[in-house]
Chains A and B, each alone.
Chain A
Amino acid sequence: MTAVAAAARRALLVVGLPLALLALWWVLSADSQSFYLPPLSQILEAFASTWFGARLADDVLPSLLRLLAGFALATVAGVALGVAIGFSPRLRAALEPVLEFLRAIPPPVLVPIFILITGIGTTMKVLVIVSGCIWPILLNTVEGVRARDEVLEDTCRVYGIRGPARLRHLVLRSASPQIVTGMRQALSIGIILMVISEMFAASSGLGFTIIQFQRGFAIPEMWSGILLLGLLGVALSLAFSGFEGRVLGWYHGLRRAERGPS
């Protein structure tokens, strides 16, 4: 098989099921009379008119920026704390019960508290996202830091690689597969919390707009918002895969090499 044919086959495999599902939706909903389940054609019409305009800049973009800010803050804080805890067994023993307690709290219930402390602005929404995203990153970083190879550790000691160089070249890199796994989990949590944070006391944002449509019985628009959320999820996941490929190229290659010569 030629390379082009192989690529076409792969592409078909990736988009085949989504296209089939859309087609099924289209056919089954074509002559729907239900108010709550409008035909897909209506939803797609609403999609174009609702999102390709001022709302893109006024609602979608701010939501995305808050998501990215929260995700980035959670990554920095999670990795920093995770490295500290991963290094010190005593710190880990002392913090573990507290961390388990905090992790078990669903972030949405913290929204009223964050509102009390920081008001209803951007800070509150970003904090809600951080409070959910930080846990998978933190816990995975701890595991990654603990699992670093002792021969590499000895190598660093022998060759005088210490301090920031050791942190950068040994600790963070050897924990990076786990850190990236945590970030991937955090990203999907972040999308959920982005919407939830806009359900309370908000006046703009993607989540806020969808809720508004729901309350105003603008059903096709509401569906189009849900569709947009799904598409954003796919786009973010693809972008993240690109990032992962860059950061963990060595890791995937190493795993392939370890599985045996191909």
Chain B
Amino acid sequence: MSKTLQIRGLRKVYEAQGRSVEAVGDLTFSVEASELVCVVGPSGCGKTTLLRCIAGLLEPTGGEVLLQGTRVAGPPPDLAVVFQEYGRSLFPWMTVRGNVELPLRSKRLGRDRRDELVTGALAAVGLGDVHDAYPWQLSGGMQQRVAIARAVAYEPHVLLMDEPFAAVDAQTRAELEDLVRAVWRRTGVTIVFVTHDIDEAVYLGQRVLALSSSPTVVQEDLAVDLPEERDQLTTRSDPRFTQLRTHLYAQIQQAKRGGDQPTPPASPEGAAAAPGS
């Protein structure tokens, strides 16, 4: 049981008005302790559903999620999530400091320990000077930094990130990617990072899992053999980076076409997404 996270035969079907939509078909993979795994896939392939099942926010229809050997049923205490909608995941009536501190209060940590964690986490994301600002006074990128600080201060074993930078501009996005790498290397937290951006996945991850469109399975489990020290200029112009991203891109295009899908799509959405099959 050295694996931090194990997903076994995960399946999720949404039932609505007599129609059922299969969001996740049959997913099996595992994540080692202190690993940074990126999950990519075409839009609508169930990435967010997968993440919500891991977070215990959603009950899977079949299969199971194990976090450090324990079956996930409801949000586990040592897991944090950074949501895509940063503007809606921070409490607008609390200051930046209050937002980062609130989960620590629910953990019943003492005041001194809370202060230490909050100050440390905000400094780590480069927001040491805006403790008393409200989230809506900050730019989108800074708001997402607050959300990352909140997750870091919580000291989770596993950090889930759901397309966290999809709504920020390219420049901010590059900075936040480097921030995630820095936080990960400093804390050794296990990160599962969901994105639809192949370049982002290759740049960030030690491993990239490419999902196929529905029914969702792991199409490819790719080890990223780029150097540990990464930066936006040299890493992205590394020939190996280009090779990896091109390979993944081809895989995902194939997945979209449903080219190597032996089983016919089970849901109406799958049929629409794969007209060639």
Interface of chain B, helix or strand or loop or mixed?
A: loop
Asked if A152 contacts B154 (CB within 8 A), the reply is no
Asked if A160 contacts B77 (CB within 8 A), the reply is yes
The CA of A254 and the CA of B102, in the complex, are separated in Å by 20
Using Cβ atoms and an 8 Å threshold, which residues of chain A touch B134? 250, 253-254
The CA of A254 and the CA of B220, in the complex, are separated in Å by 43
Asked if A162 contacts B55 (CB within 8 A), the reply is no
Using Cβ atoms and an 8 Å threshold, which residues of chain B touch A257? 136-137
B75 within 8 A of A: yes
Asked if A158 contacts B93 (CB within 8 A), the reply is no
Using Cβ atoms and an 8 Å threshold, which residues of chain A touch B137? 253, 257
Interface of chain A, helix or strand or loop or mixed?
A: helix
Asked if A158 contacts B91 (CB within 8 A), the reply is no
- The distance from the CB of B114 to the nearest CB of chain A, in whole angstroms, is 13
Using Cβ atoms and an 8 Å threshold, which residues of chain A touch B106? 159-162, 165
B268 within 8 A of A: no
B105 within 8 A of A: yes
Q: Provide the B82-105 mask, 1 if CB < 8 A to any CB of A, else 0.
A: 010100110111100000001101
Instruction: Enumerate A229-250 residues with CB–CB distance to B below 8 Å.
Output: 250
Across the interface, B57 reaches (CB within 8 A) one of A154, A165, A250, A254, namely A154
B240 within 8 A of A: no
Greatest chain A CB density within 10 A among B55, B74, B136 is at B136
The CA of A154 and the CA of B91, in the complex, are separated in Å by 12
Using Cβ atoms and an 8 Å threshold, which residues of chain A touch B150? 159
Q: Provide the A141-180 mask, 1 if CB < 8 A to any CB of B, else 0.
A: 0000000010110110111111001000110011010000
- The distance from the CB of A188 to the nearest CB of chain B, in whole angstroms, is 26
Instruction: Enumerate B169-203 residues with CB–CB distance to A below 8 Å.
Output: none
Using Cβ atoms and an 8 Å threshold, which residues of chain B touch A31? none
Across the interface, A158 reaches (CB within 8 A) one of B81, B85, B92, B94, namely B81
The CA of A23 and the CA of B180, in the complex, are separated in Å by 68
Chain B residues with a Cβ closer than 8 Å to the other chain, count: 27
The CA of A224 and the CA of B160, in the complex, are separated in Å by 67
B80 within 8 A of A: yes
Greatest chain B CB density within 10 A among A151, A158, A161, A170 is at A158
Using Cβ atoms and an 8 Å threshold, which residues of chain B touch A169? 91, 94, 102
The CA of A257 and the CA of B136, in the complex, are separated in Å by 6
The CA of A11 and the CA of B93, in the complex, are separated in Å by 30
Asked if A158 contacts B75 (CB within 8 A), the reply is yes
Using Cβ atoms and an 8 Å threshold, which residues of chain A touch B218? none
The CA of A148 and the CA of B112, in the complex, are separated in Å by 32
Across the interface, A258 reaches (CB within 8 A) one of B56, B74, B102, B136, namely B136
B33 within 8 A of A: no
The CA of A226 and the CA of B91, in the complex, are separated in Å by 45
Asked if A250 contacts B89 (CB within 8 A), the reply is no
Using Cβ atoms and an 8 Å threshold, which residues of chain B touch A250? 92-94, 134, 136
Asked if B105 contacts A165 (CB within 8 A), the reply is yes
The CA of A257 and the CA of B142, in the complex, are separated in Å by 15
Asked if A158 contacts B88 (CB within 8 A), the reply is no
- The distance from the CB of A135 to the nearest CB of chain B, in whole angstroms, is 26
Instruction: Enumerate A107-158 residues with CB–CB distance to B below 8 Å.
Output: 149, 151-152, 154-155, 157-158
B107 within 8 A of A: yes
Asked if A151 contacts B83 (CB within 8 A), the reply is yes
A251 within 8 A of B: yes
Asked if B136 contacts A254 (CB within 8 A), the reply is yes
B84 closest partner in A (C-beta)? A151
Asked if B93 contacts A154 (CB within 8 A), the reply is no
Using Cβ atoms and an 8 Å threshold, which residues of chain A touch B83? 151, 154-155
Asked if A159 contacts B88 (CB within 8 A), the reply is no
Using Cβ atoms and an 8 Å threshold, which residues of chain A touch B75? 157-158, 160
Using Cβ atoms and an 8 Å threshold, which residues of chain A touch B55? 158
The CA of A253 and the CA of B74, in the complex, are separated in Å by 35
B-to-A contact residues, CB < 8 Å: 55-57, 74-75, 77, 79-81, 83, 85, 88-89, 91-94, 102-103, 105-107, 134, 136-137, 150, 154
Having A155-B83, A160-B107, A254-B92, one finds 16 other A-B pairs with CB under 8 Å, namely A149-B88, A151-B83, A154-B81, A155-B81, A155-B89, A157-B74, A158-B57, A158-B75, A160-B106, A165-B102, A169-B91, A169-B94, A173-B93, A250-B134, A253-B137, A254-B134
- Some 7 contacts from A to B, beta carbons below 8 A apart, are A149-B88, A155-B83, A157-B75, A158-B80, A162-B106, A169-B91, A173-B93
